[in-house]
Chains A and B, each alone.
Chain A
């Protein structure tokens, strides 16, 4: 039976190619769509983990003058400062568990291919937000004039970067996070203060009258166990008029809404395309078997049983679906891996491709789904063929 199926496929190359193409298209869409939905969900959970703190405290002007969310969530460049004495004051508030400060600075365009990048300084002794990510990617210690770069920056361990004329050494590169971390540079408190001083010396800092010794950009707070985050936020907002405390969960609610919107649309599309794909495959098989009625009738007249006829059509359909689905998954995979950045840019949402293991599971599921579609459509036609009246077909000369 296998040789007859192979001969059938080889004999009608155009028809076989069309069926393989249809199956390939179906599996490519199911694979790429599922990977996209999964990547968006990964990106969002990565963003949740990356925020790492319950409360973010920034100068009040930062929430009005600059688009804070763009700096924190989208990786846009920008900076703002407040007095570092707030760090001690806020640490006294009841319910504050961990507390740390961060320093922001945006570099300026330097060489031919550089664009401004956001440099974030943190205190390694108190930090509980960035350090876990750095430890996850590399165990490197950040010394004076050392930096850690995000995964999307074209700089590698051992490279030297220049910010405001100060040369810094890249000691680690973060793993891909699918968030704004990927385009940022991280360094310790001492180094960022040197860079801020240099930016002031070169008159490249918007804040001309600051002293790097007594400023911070934002304060991150984790609530102690048993204490309400909202109470801490209210306490700060009520008593510190020059500050603005933001619950980080609220910052990402907009992204969460967009994510559920895009994921929902993708899931509906995958479902619709799958149903449409099955319908198209059924119609295609019905048309093809209609054309081949005489061929099947001759086979029946030669002694092929109805069961054998069913097997022939069903096996041919399954084989074409298998070939098509494998090619489709390979095509979808190449597309997703190659254009990951373009997809991320166009969606403007955190986007992190799933691990290889998950990708293989999705690929197998897409192949299985296409095979089910192929089995359904060829099965329906095979049933019709196996029960047709051979005599009538041969007599009618169709």
Chain B
């Protein structure tokens, strides 16, 4: 039950991350010439990863098979970890740290990625402990 709740919280965090980077915490606007800066692509990659993490954690919440549950938690944590490093490390961003990509997109992505990673790890620990208990019972 605890694991399911945690997976659902990770799902909500993933949805929030995806929605946030497309709205309030989006990267810099389009340039005058109609082209985008690099940070826009960082925003889109984070969004895709967040949707994937949310979907995987939702699967993890309703699946009873322990191995798939463990896998779901690990995949969610890895996706969130990649999302954490996208703005500024994997994808280079704009020139000034006063721009939106640094002041809004990067901190929001990093905070929510951390939240998803922590929740997934806790859920993973719960799932693994459950397995040990089952083995002890036998």
Complex Cα distance, B110 from A154, in Å, reads 18
Answer yes or no: A117 CB below 8 A from chain B CBs: yes
Query: Total interface residues on B, using CB and 8 Å?
Result: 19
Is B95 touching A117 in the complex (CB atoms < 8 A)? Answer: yes
Complex Cα distance, B94 from A155, in Å, reads 10
Is B96 touching A117 in the complex (CB atoms < 8 A)? Answer: yes
Q: Return chain A residues, CB-CB under 8 Å to B96.
A: 115, 117, 152-154, 183
Least CB distance, B31 to chain A, in whole angstroms: 8
Answer yes or no: B137 CB below 8 A from chain A CBs: no
Contacts A113-B37, A154-B93 given; indicate if A338 touches B107 (C-beta within 8 A).
yes
Is A341 touching B35 in the complex (CB atoms < 8 A)? Answer: no
- Which residue in B37, B97, B110 is a CB contact (below 8 Å) of A338? B110
Least CB distance, B110 to chain A, in whole angstroms: 7
- Which residue in B99, B102, B111 is a CB contact (below 8 Å) of A334? B111
User: What 1/0 flags go to A101-117 for Cβ under 8 Å of B?
Assistant: 00000000000111101
Q: Return chain A residues, CB-CB under 8 Å to B99.
A: 115
Give the most central of B38, B99, B110: most A CB within 10 Å. Answer: B99
Answer yes or no: A342 CB below 8 A from chain B CBs: yes
Is B94 touching A154 in the complex (CB atoms < 8 A)? Answer: yes
Is B98 touching A345 in the complex (CB atoms < 8 A)? Answer: yes
Least CB distance, B35 to chain A, in whole angstroms: 7
Closest chain A residue, CB of each to CB of B28: A113
Least CB distance, B108 to chain A, in whole angstroms: 8
Answer yes or no: B39 CB below 8 A from chain A CBs: yes
Q: Return chain B residues, CB-CB under 8 Å to A117.
A: 95-96
Answer yes or no: A344 CB below 8 A from chain B CBs: yes
Answer yes or no: A339 CB below 8 A from chain B CBs: yes
Complex Cα distance, B114 from A334, in Å, reads 11
Least CB distance, A330 to chain B, in whole angstroms: 12
Least CB distance, A89 to chain B, in whole angstroms: 37
Is A154 touching B95 in the complex (CB atoms < 8 A)? Answer: yes
Q: Return chain B residues, CB-CB under 8 Å to A152.
A: 96-98
Within 8 A of A (CB), among B11-25: none
User: What 1/0 flags go to B75-113 for Cβ under 8 Å of A?
Assistant: 000000000000000001111111100111001101100
Closest chain B residue, CB of each to CB of A109: B31
Give the most central of A154, A182, A345: most B CB within 10 Å. Answer: A154
Complex Cα distance, B103 from A339, in Å, reads 6
Complex Cα distance, B97 from A92, in Å, reads 42
Is B110 touching A153 in the complex (CB atoms < 8 A)? Answer: no
Is A112 touching B98 in the complex (CB atoms < 8 A)? Answer: no
Contacts A338-B107, A341-B102, A345-B103 given; indicate if A112 touches B97 (C-beta within 8 A).
no
Q: Return chain B residues, CB-CB under 8 Å to A113.
A: 37-39, 92-95
Interface residues of chain A, those whose CB is within 8 Å of chain B, are: 112-115, 117, 151-155, 182-183, 334, 338-339, 341-342, 344-345
